[in-house]
Amino acid sequence: MNKKIIFIFVIALILGYFAGNSTLFSPKETKAPYTYNFQAPSNLKGEGTGFSEIVKILSPTVVNISTTKTVKREIQPFSQFFESPLGDFFEPFNMPKKWKEQSLGSGVIVSSDGYIITNSHVVEKADEIKVTLYDKEDYSGKIIGSDPKTDIAVIKISAKEDLPAIKWGDSDSLQVGEFVLAFGNSFGLSHTVTLGIVSALGRANVGIADYEDFIQTDAAINPGNSGGPLVNVKGELVGINTAIFSRTGGYQGIGFAVPSNMVKSVMSELIKGGKVTRGWLGVTIQDVTPELAGEFGLKESAGAIITDIFNGSPAEKSGMKRGDIIIEVEGKEVKNVVSLRNMIAQSKVGSILKLKVIRDGKTIPFEVAIVEFPSDTSEIASHQSEEAVSDENSLAGFRVLDLTDEIAKQLGLSNKEKGVVIVSVIPNSASDEAGLKKGDVVQEINKKRVSSLSDFNKAVSRLRDGDMVLLFINRNGKKFYVPFKVHP
Contact 158, 170 (CB under 8 A): no
Q: In the prediction, which pLDDT does 184 show?
A: 86
Q: Which residues are catalytic, by number?
A: 121, 151, 226
pLDDT (average), residues 441-464 = 82
Task: Please indicate whether residue 348 or residue 378 has the higher confidence score (pLDDT).
Answer: 348
Is 279-372's fold the same as 393-485's? yes
Task: Please indicate whether residue 9 or residue 352 has the higher confidence score (pLDDT).
Answer: 352
Contact 194, 219 (CB under 8 A): yes
Please state, rounded to an integer, the average pLDDT across all residues of the chain. 78
pTM for this structure?
0.62
- 164: pLDDT strictly greater than 80: yes
Q: In the prediction, which pLDDT does 133 show?
A: 92
Q: In the prediction, which pLDDT does 145 show?
A: 93
Q: Which residues pair with 255 in a beta bridge?
A: 217, 244
Q: What are phi and psi of 166, to 5 degrees?
A: -75, 155
Q: In the prediction, which pLDDT does 464 show?
A: 73
Dihedral of alpha carbons 290, 296, 300, 305, sign: negative
pLDDT band at 433 (very low <50, low <70, confident <90, very high): confident
Task: Please indicate whether residue 426 or residue 31 has the higher confidence score (pLDDT).
Answer: 426
Q: Domain 38-276: which CATH class?
A: mainly beta
Q: Where are the domains of the chain?
A: 38-276, 279-372, 393-485
Task: Please indicate whether residue 191 or residue 48 has the higher confidence score (pLDDT).
Answer: 191
Half-sphere exposure of 275 (CA within 13 A, CB side): 5
> pLDDT tens digit string along 39-94?
555 444 444 567 888 899 999 999 999 888 776 665 544 444 445 554 555 455 55
CA distances 251 to 176, 187, 191, 223, 343, Å, are 20, 11, 17, 9, 31
pLDDT (average), residues 395-402 = 71
- 357: pLDDT strictly greater than 90: yes
Say how far apart CA 361 and CA 357 lie, in whole Å. 10
pLDDT (average), residues 115-129 = 91
DSSP string, 151-177: TEEEEE---SSPPP-PEE--GGG--TT
- The pairing of strands 255-259 and 179-184 is unpaired
The 3-state DSSP class for residue 38 equals: coil
Going by C-alpha positions, the residue among 233, 325, 248, 342 that lies closest to residue 287 is 325
279-372: which CATH number, 2.30.42.10, 3.90.1300.10, 1.25.40.340, 2.40.50.140? 2.30.42.10
Say how far apart CA 292 and CA 178 lie, in whole Å. 33
Q: In the prediction, which pLDDT does 18 show?
A: 40
pLDDT (average), residues 214-228 = 85
* Residue 153 burial class via C-beta count within 10 angstroms: exposed 0-12, middle 13-18, buried 19 and up: buried
- Four-point Cα dihedral 218, 224, 227, 229, nearest 10: -50
pLDDT (average), residues 414-443 = 82
pLDDT band at 7 (very low <50, low <70, confident <90, very high): very low
393-485: which CATH number, 2.60.40.10, 2.30.42.10, 2.130.10.10, 3.30.70.20? 2.30.42.10
Top mean pLDDT of 31-35, 40-44, 90-94, 331-335 is at 331-335
